[in-house]
Structure formats: structure tokens, C-alpha cells
Amino acid sequence: MAPPMTASNKHPEAPWRNFYGRIHGKTLNQAQKDYLDEDLEALSPGAVSWDINPNRDPIDMDARFKGKPVWLEIGFGGGEHLVHMGETYPEIEIIGCEPFMNGVAMLLGKIRKLQTQNVAVHPGDARDLFDVLPDHSISKAFLNYPDPWPKKRHHRRRFVTAEHLEPLFRVLKPGAEFRVATDIPDYVRQTLIEVPKAGFVWQAEGPKDWSQPWSDWYSTRYEQKALREGRTPHYLTFLRP
Ligand SMILES: C[S@@+](CC[C@H](N)C(=O)[O-])C[C@H]1O[C@@H](n2cnc3c(N)ncnc32)[C@H](O)[C@@H]1O
């Protein structure tokens, strides 16, 4: 059985957290239902669900991740970048979080096919994961094409707000990299204001540093759509001092 969804978590101790994205999309096919039923539980990064960890005790990272460096991808969509990173860097462990269950099922299909060994999956909101990650436990973080929320009155729903960036800063190790990819100019603007406000330092020295992808980048489904529709990717690299 899949663990309970954090975005709809009704545990009495759970704080009210608005989540505006989608949790379910098209009906899953039988294979996808099987992936969720059979594979998801074993891939859990630890006790994230409020139902099993209402005191929000921190995850024992060394026990769960064998003392290896742990990376984090927030909102992995279909999981192509997440699996690519896991396969490229077998010496690390990487946690992906994504509340959209169709995306989680797609990722599980990829993990099963490739037999990827170093990916953990939190099928829910990053904020619930931040609660139980110890301080300085994550060595690198990725935010690829976060939901753009184009209307001005919705900008406060964006990931690049204090509500998400402050706990992210806390869980990252000093010296950790935080990568943000987006195709929305106004999202770039907000990112370059809010991320440094949370304590991060932008690493760009010139336009090449934000117009060219990282050497180990894997273009995501969302990026492919943005390129087809004529939008320009921006690749922003921050350091957590
Ligand atoms: C525009 S999609 C991009 C997906 C993927 N990164 C890509 O590039 O194709 C943004 C994703 O972020 C997820 N998301 C939104 N808020 C989130 C949160 N609080 N925690 C984790 N994921 C979140 C959404 O469910 C959605 O799948």
C-alpha cells in the first residue's frame, strides 16, 4: 500500500498547508497502479508521513542512506532528471519529492526498468519532507521548472518564497549547491530576489552561467515543452554558504 498523501494529510497534528497543484491526473494504467502498490513503500526516505511521525522526529540519515551524500530534487515531474542523476552518480543517494501521483508512477516505472538503486521517493509536498530532514543533511538540491503561477496574485504560491526557501536553507549543508531551472522571466526575477534573501549566493559571473545548462543536465519534459513553445531556459546556480 502506498503511504498516505501529505498534501491531503488530515492528521490532527499536521499544520494547514495549502497545496494548489494537482495530486491526481488521468486514470493510472494497471502497471502504474502495481508500481505504486508494490514499489513505493520500500523507496520511502523515512518517516515523513504525519500519521507515522506526528512528533516530526528527524530521519536517521546515516542509517537510511548508508552514510553517503544525499541530494534532493523538488517536484521531479516524470522523474527523468532524477533517474538520470541517480544513474550518473552511483556514489550518492538522491531523494525526489512530487505530490502528483501520475508523475510518481512514471518515475517508479523508470526505476523498475533501469533497476536504479540510489533513488528515494517522497510522494508528497517538499515542506513535509523538510520537517523531518536534519539540519545540514543535504549536499545538493534541484528545482527544475517549478510551477510558474503566472498571475501576479498567485506569485506567493511559487516555490521561491520564504516558506520553502528557509527550511531548504536549513537542511542544506554549508557549501551545497542549489540549482533552479525556469523558462519564465518573471520567475527568474523573483528567484534572484527571494533566494539570496533566504541566505543563498548566486554563482553567475556572466550570461554564459545562466544561459547554458549544467554539464550533467538532463532536459526534462517540461523543458522540452518550453523549447517547443519558444521560451528560453534559464539555469541559476546558488551556493548555500
Ligand atoms: C511544472 S512541473 C515541472 C516538473 C519537472 N521538474 C520537469 O521539469 O518536467 C512542477 C512540478 O512541481 C511539483 N510541485 C509543486 N509544488 C510542490 C511542492 N510543494 N513540493 C514538491 N513538488 C511540488 C508539481 O506537482 C509539478 O509536478
Give the residue, by CA position, lying nearest to ligand 1 atom 22: 75
The rounded Å distance from CA 74 to ligand 1 centre is: 7
Q: Indicate yes or no: pTM above 0.75.
A: yes
- Give the up-direction half-sphere exposure of residue 29: CA atoms within 13 A in the CB hemisphere: 4
Catalytically active residues are 147
7-16: list long-range contacts, CB under 8 Å, 24+ apart. 7/99, 7/124, 7/125, 9/49, 9/50, 9/51, 9/124, 9/128, 11/50, 11/51, 11/54, 13/50, 13/54, 14/50, 14/54
The rounded Å distance from CA 224 to ligand 1 centre is: 15
Name the strand (E) or helix (H) holding 102.
helix 101-114
Whether residue 86 contacts residue 116, with contact meaning beta carbons closer than 8 Å, is answered with yes
Give the residue, by CA position, lying nearest to ligand 1 atom 5: 77
Strand pairing category for 201-202 and 234-240 = antiparallel
Task: Report pLDDT for 4.
Answer: 41
pLDDT digits (tens, 9 = 90+) for 87-118: 999 999 999 999 999 999 999 999 999 999 99
pLDDT digits (tens, 9 = 90+) for 186-230: 999 999 999 999 999 999 988 888 999 999 999 999 999 999 999
Query: CA 139, CA 175: separation in Å to the nearest integer?
Result: 8
Has domain 29-240 been given CATH number 3.40.50.150? yes
Ligand 1 neighbours (beta carbon < 6 A): 21, 74-77, 97-100, 103, 125-127, 144-147, 220-223
Query: CA 47, CA 59: separation in Å to the nearest integer?
Result: 7
